[in-house]
Structure 1
Amino acid sequence: MIARTLIGAGLALALSVGQASSAEVGDDYSTVDKADYIFGCMAANGQTRESLEHCACSIDTIATILPYSEYEEAETVLRLNKVAGQSSELFRTSAQLKDKVANLRRAQAEAEIKCFP
């Protein structure tokens, strides 16, 4: 009984330390967002264990460069750029939105240099 209590307390402490570490670096990317990025990255770079490691490194690097809100905005702009028609023209021509995508592209380039030797 005491051993279970100590193990539970140790796990709770480890989890709280891990959460504090994530909060300190501003890593508010959800697991689903990270997994989605890794899934797409692996589709482009091969379905291997090595590509999994490189792609995980890549999204972690991006997360240290861009706050999640900026990442989310840039990803939204990229998705809307693929929509044909006049209603999505704003997303293709706005200088401010192009800057958001450019910031994401720079973060991805830095991640590629760091994570894909």
Structure 2
Amino acid sequence: MRKSIAAAACSAFVVAALTATASFAVELPKNDYPTSARADYVFACMQTNGQNRIVLEKCSCSIDTIASLLPYDEYEAAETIMSVRQKGGESVAMFNSFPPFLEKVKNLKRAQVEAELRCF
């Protein structure tokens, strides 16, 4: 009988611990870009502007500024649209003329201009 009580107490403790852990899972802010997205941006920025410490700091500042102005889901959508546009042809014509897509790209470009002014 003591083993049953001990097993039940242990089970209750595990459930309580898992519940407590789950309560710490907080939704990330909208501008919390994944590290890989920030790294990709900085890498491409450094390829374009030079590969030294000063440029690393400026490129890091740039993606941080963009992240402060544009939620990640909007950034990702605009990057995807611009990537599809590069393929060219009739199949991507919608990405060059559909107003909601144009607006997403404009918002990203505005954020990039602001980042350029603040960081470079």
| Code of the aligned partner of 1:75 | E
Aligned match of 1:47 = 51
| Runs of 4+ off more than 4 Å | none
Given that residues 26 and 64 in structure 1 are in contact (C-alpha distance below 8 angstroms), is that contact kept between their aligned partners in structure 2? Answer: no
Aligned match of 1:101 = 105
| Code of the aligned partner of 1:72 | E
Distance 2:63 2:72 in 1: 11
Distance 1:112 1:74 in 2: 18
Aligned match of 1:80 = 84
Q: CA RMSD in A?
A: 1.9
Aligned with residue 37 of structure 2, among 21, 33, 38: 33
Structure 1 portions without partners, runs of 5+ = 1-19
TM-score (norm 1): 0.76
What's the CA shift for 1:86? 1.1
Aligned with residue 92 of structure 1, among 86, 89, 96: 96
What's the CA shift for 1:84? 1.9
**May I ask how many residue pairs the two structures share in their alignment?**
96
* Structure 1 residues 4-52: Cα deviation after superposition (integer angstroms, max 9, x where no partner): xxxxxxxxxxxxxxxx8xx4x5432100000000011111110111000
Aligned match of 1:8 = none
| Matched-pair identity in % | 50
1:65-76 to 2 correspondences below 5 Å: 65-76=69-80
| Code of the aligned partner of 1:37 | Y
Given that residues 61 and 119 in structure 2 are in contact (C-alpha distance below 8 angstroms), is that contact kept between their aligned partners in structure 1? Answer: yes
What's the CA shift for 1:95? 1.4
